[in-house]
Amino acid sequence: MFPGGGFIKRIIKKYKPEAILGVACPHEVHGGMAQLAKTGVVLQGIILKYGGCVETKVDLKELYGMMSLSSSPD
């Protein structure tokens, strides 16, 4: 199991989300998506610009773009 695997399981059990947008290093995004594929939860992952646990960066334009893809209710 990858390092964030237990955290993802707790989030799904507690909140029962319909969709998840994850932001992490490539290894964590891959592991999380593989784990979530079995749950039926809609998912999207964004990879950090560079890895590590300190002073990482994410492409905010990409993040906000993914967040705005949700459809509005009719």
What pTM value is reported for the model? 0.72
pLDDT in tens, 1-17: 556 667 888 888 899 99
pLDDT in tens, 38-69: 888 888 999 998 766 678 889 999 999 988 87
Per domain, the residue ranges of the chain are: 5-67
Q: How far apart are CA 72 and CA 22, in angstroms?
A: 21
Smallest CA-to-CA distance from 62 within 46, 50, 73 is with: 46
Q: How far apart are CA 52 and CA 47, in angstroms?
A: 12
